[in-house]
Structure 1
Amino acid sequence: MRVLIGIFLILYSFSHGSIITGQWNDPVTPVMSDYVKRIIQKAELEKADAVIIMIDTPGGLDTSMREIVKTIMNSSVPVIVYVYPPGSRAASAGAIITVSADIAAMSPSTNIGSASPVQMGGKDIEETMKKKIINDMVAFVKGIAKEKGRNEKILVKMITESINLTAEEALKKNVIDVIATDLEDLLGKIDGKTVKKHGKEIKLSVKDKKIIKVEKSLKEKILTILTNPTVAYLLLMIGFYGIFFELYNPGSLIPGILGTISLLLALYSLNIIDVNWLGVLLIAAGVLFFILEVITPTFGALALSGVIAILFGSLILTDPDSPYGDISLKIIVPVVAFSALFFFTVAYLGLKAQRRRTATGVEGMIGVIGKAETDIDPEGKVFVSGELWNAFSESPIKKGEKIKVVSVEGLRLKVERVENGTKV
């Protein structure tokens, strides 16, 4: 019976596929690149019938856009990019991502285009460099247009003339494949369509299929804020200035801490390092902050920075959808807490040792308890720390009584009588 049920479930799963969907309403950044990769990897792993990526974006980083296009074009699962909901846009890098899809779709009252390259912050690029970048972008979109059978001239004009099209204009000029009011309408219109994928023709069967929505993870939500192109630019400048001020005025600490963390975040934001390397470097920076706290106690400033860096680095270190899973907060929090406690303890003991009175030499004699070897009135001899010393006292002390060293004057000790280690 169990065998029959198992066979039935397998046959059911093959006959009832799924559609993996995602929504991106932010600039094109490394986070979007990671998000799209995650969705497509999930679709390939689960043998989904299609992937639908709904976007509303003003554009973003060229490097991230190229990574996304590469991921879409190398996917074994058909990918539909859908500019949605109404009122949305696929501008600049978003336009190129849309037309790179196996099926490009838009909802009514949306627009696509304006793909001319600009510098971060919106500044124009120097003329010679701009010409090189535009030529590179033109060649890139020509390749996409040829592969996907789209209107090459219009796509080139999006880059060279920054033209923008409504959904109706884009459909008429063969920039997109379909206009759909919502997801259900889209599935109905593309069902049965044939797309070419790696030399093979795939007939879409998407109607009445299970829809699985992939939400942004907590890590992606945090990184989306940090990797906004404007924020990335500001992080880069804060990083440079923070480190510069720390080098100019060593020991100020706060500029160095902010500069280091900001620079690491900027390196990820600009797609120079990936998210896993960012996690590793943040953890390394956190450990470095802890070590500096031990060497140069700052009353917790460096240690607190270390806690934040290690905690954040640990949270983004692995992808929740990786084959190995993510690192549970039940592991991260105790490890970070133990690390903080360990370094705080070492720093405290080090500071305590620095403040402790000297245990050797003349200064080490002060406060030591000894015994009067003779009557002291006002002078006599005392036995302290295994040695016989000449001593004097302001009040008489009898032989055999306990004494405490008050001060050292030359080769004589000034002492006072104590009883059970307490001054009388």
Structure 2
Amino acid sequence: MKWFILFLLILQTVVKASVLIGSWQEPVSPVMVDYVKRLVEKAETKNFDAIILTLDTPGGLAKSMREVIKVINNTPIPFIVFVYPQGAQATSAGAIITVSADLAVMSPLTNIGSASPVSMQGKDIDETMKKKVVNDMLALVRAIAKEKGRNTKAIEKMITEAKNYSAKEALKLKIIDFIANDIGEVIKKAKNREIKKLGQTFKIKITNEKAVFLEKSFIEKILIVLTNPTIAYFLLMIGFYGIFFELYNPGSIIPGTIGAISFVLALYSLNMIDVNWLGVILIGLGVLFFALELITPTFGGLTLAGVLSIALGSAILFNPNSPYGDISIYIIAPVVLFSAVFFLAVSYFGLKAQRKKSITGIESIVDRKAKALTDINPEGKVMIDGEIWNAYSDKLINKEEEVIIEKVEGLKLKVKKAK
């Protein structure tokens, strides 16, 4: 009996998994496209019976959404999108991706919808362009609904009226196929479900309920971090300041290198997030004002202009309605304040240095130490920088003692004993 149980346990470990699981809890972006492609490639290479993608997204880029839909519908392997866990959402581009799957599944307490098109910055677009975009998306969802047997009108309302549905409402309206509490339940309910794909109608065959999970790659994790608006903002600021200090003080190398790398990463991040480029220009202009304050001190005038420019640029850099989020005022305020204080301080000390009387030539030896070559009583000789000078003192100074030069009187030095 023991050997039989051991055999079953060994058999369980060597049985090939039938289902490949992926997870996406970020905005729809080019990074998601790469991840879904990698998910499908692995499933096709390893001959998995089905793919399940758990989804929790506020939406994202329409272009990336279409790429994901292409990948989902051009693989012969059944692709299931599962809005999970409870409390998750599949809105905007995420909603269209969900209904385009071979099986659309939601867990309780989730929602789907709000797919009205907005501009790249999260704002409403003008009426003419909106009609074009809406009609384009409607044509897409009609084709998807017809192919997958879903409720066309209910899905259209997610676009035309920004309708949002709970899991129960979506099931009742035939937007999704079923509700499940977890992945195990999804696999059980997906077995023998009939789907239509690539011109064929067939049932989903799942050999066993064993599943494996595909982790995000290191590069994908890095790229996801870079699409965080706060990270992108800091990279932009570091980039501007690093490049500025390299130009202000050529040859430093390190500030310029860090600045250049940060700036390139910031540009990549901002391009992914689709920021308001006017905000980037205003931030750059603010740094320029600070730089001009250093070169031509205006007693704070250009610094004030820089503060206003950076503050305004930071405020409009990201739209709060964007699926990528916005920058908190608690981040913007310290950055602007630090920039202002730093540049004002540098400008102040630079101006102070310019106004300071230049000390060169013979006067440069005042307050320096020298060595008594003879007794100084009251006169004698001292040596400084290899030169011998006549010197005098109000008090006796013995030979070999250190002295401090008090002042230069022609070719004679007044000195005093060093303490």
Q: Answer whether TM exceeds 0.5 for this pair.
A: yes
Q: Structure 1 residue aligned with 2:286, among 228, 234, 245?
A: 245
Structure 1 segment 311-330 matched on structure 2, within 5 A: none
Could you say which residue in structure 2 is the equivalent of 1:53? 53
Structure 1 segment 200-279 matched on structure 2, within 5 A: 204-206=204-206, 208-213=208-213, 219=221, 223=225, 226=228, 242-250=283-291
Question: CA–CA distance in 2 between the matches of 1:271 and 1:109?
Answer: 20
Could you say which residue in structure 1 is the equivalent of 2:370? 369
What is the Cα deviation at residue 391 of structure 1?
A: 1.4
Q: What SS does the corresponding residue of 1:396 show, helix, strand or coil?
A: coil
Q: Does the CA-based 8 Å contact 1:30-1:270 persist in structure 2?
A: no
What is the Cα deviation at residue 80 of structure 1?
A: 0.2
What's the TM-score once normalised by structure 2's chain length?
A: 0.56
Against the structure 1 CA distance between its residues 13 and 42, is the aligned structure 2 distance closer, same or farther, given a 3 Å change threshold?
Answer: farther
Could you say which residue in structure 1 is the equivalent of 2:401? 402
Question: CA–CA distance in 2 between the matches of 1:167 and 1:378?
Answer: 102
Question: CA–CA distance in 2 between the matches of 1:51 and 1:364?
Answer: 82
Q: What SS does the corresponding residue of 2:21 show, helix, strand or coil?
A: strand
Question: CA–CA distance in 2 between the matches of 1:413 and 1:202?
Answer: 106
Against the structure 1 CA distance between its residues 98 and 383, is the aligned structure 2 distance closer, same or farther, given a 3 Å change threshold?
Answer: closer
Question: CA–CA distance in 2 between the matches of 1:255 and 1:49?
Answer: 58
Q: What SS does the corresponding residue of 1:116 show, helix, strand or coil?
A: coil
Q: What SS does the corresponding residue of 2:95 show, helix, strand or coil?
A: helix
Does 2:129 correspond to 1:129? yes
What is the Cα deviation at residue 81 of structure 1?
A: 0.7
Q: Does the CA-based 8 Å contact 1:64-1:271 persist in structure 2?
A: no
Structure 1 segment 6-405 matched on structure 2, within 5 A: 16-24=16-24, 28=28, 36=36, 39-40=39-40, 43-44=43-44, 46-75=46-75, 77-84=77-84, 89-107=89-107, 111-119=111-119, 123-145=123-145, 148=148, 150=150, 152=152, 154-164=154-164, 170=170, 175-180=175-180, 182-193=182-193, 195=195, 204-206=204-206, 208-213=208-213, 219=221, 223=225, 226=228, 242-250=283-291, 362-364=363-365, 366-373=367-374, 375-397=375-397, 400-405=399-404
Q: What's the CA shift string for 1:225-264, capped at 9, x where partnerless?
A: 9369xx97999897666544333333679979x98x979x
Q: What SS does the corresponding residue of 2:68 show, helix, strand or coil?
A: helix
Question: CA–CA distance in 2 between the matches of 1:57 and 1:178?
Answer: 19
Question: CA–CA distance in 2 between the matches of 1:25 and 1:382?
Answer: 79
What is the Cα deviation at residue 397 of structure 1?
A: 3.8
Against the structure 1 CA distance between its residues 244 and 202, is the aligned structure 2 distance closer, same or farther, given a 3 Å change threshold?
Answer: farther
Question: CA–CA distance in 2 between the matches of 1:385 and 1:220?
Answer: 58
Could you say which residue in structure 1 is the equivalent of 2:266? none
Question: CA–CA distance in 2 between the matches of 1:138 and 1:367?
Answer: 84
Identity of aligned residues (%): 45
Q: Does the CA-based 8 Å contact 2:28-2:61 persist in structure 1?
A: yes
Question: CA–CA distance in 2 between the matches of 1:186 and 1:127?
Answer: 41
Q: What's the CA shift string for 1:128-159, capped at 9, x where partnerless?
A: 22212212322333454465455555543432
Against the structure 1 CA distance between its residues 389 and 106, is the aligned structure 2 distance closer, same or farther, given a 3 Å change threshold?
Answer: closer
Against the structure 1 CA distance between its residues 235 and 208, is the aligned structure 2 distance closer, same or farther, given a 3 Å change threshold?
Answer: farther
The unaligned stretches of length 5 or more in structure 2 are 1-10, 234-272, 295-302, 325-342, 347-358
Give the CA RMSD over aligned residues: 5.2
Question: CA–CA distance in 2 between the matches of 1:214 and 1:365?
Answer: 74
Against the structure 1 CA distance between its residues 75 and 362, is the aligned structure 2 distance closer, same or farther, given a 3 Å change threshold?
Answer: farther
Q: How many residues are matched?
A: 322
Q: What SS does the corresponding residue of 1:388 show, helix, strand or coil?
A: strand
Q: Does the CA-based 8 Å contact 1:194-1:201 persist in structure 2?
A: yes
Read off the aligned partner of 1:416 and give its amino acid letter.
K
What is the Cα deviation at residue 98 of structure 1?
A: 0.7
Q: What SS does the corresponding residue of 1:94 show, helix, strand or coil?
A: helix
Q: Does the CA-based 8 Å contact 2:60-2:323 persist in structure 1?
A: no
Question: CA–CA distance in 1 between the matches of 2:194 and 2:388?
Answer: 104
Question: CA–CA distance in 2 between the matches of 1:135 and 1:12?
Answer: 51
Q: What SS does the corresponding residue of 1:53 show, helix, strand or coil?
A: strand
What is the Cα deviation at residue 175 of structure 1?
A: 3.8
Question: CA–CA distance in 1 between the matches of 2:63 and 2:149?
Answer: 24
Q: Does the CA-based 8 Å contact 1:192-1:203 persist in structure 2?
A: yes
Question: CA–CA distance in 2 between the matches of 1:236 and 1:270?
Answer: 15
Against the structure 1 CA distance between its residues 367 and 56, is the aligned structure 2 distance closer, same or farther, given a 3 Å change threshold?
Answer: closer
Read off the aligned partner of 2:372 and give its amino acid letter.
K
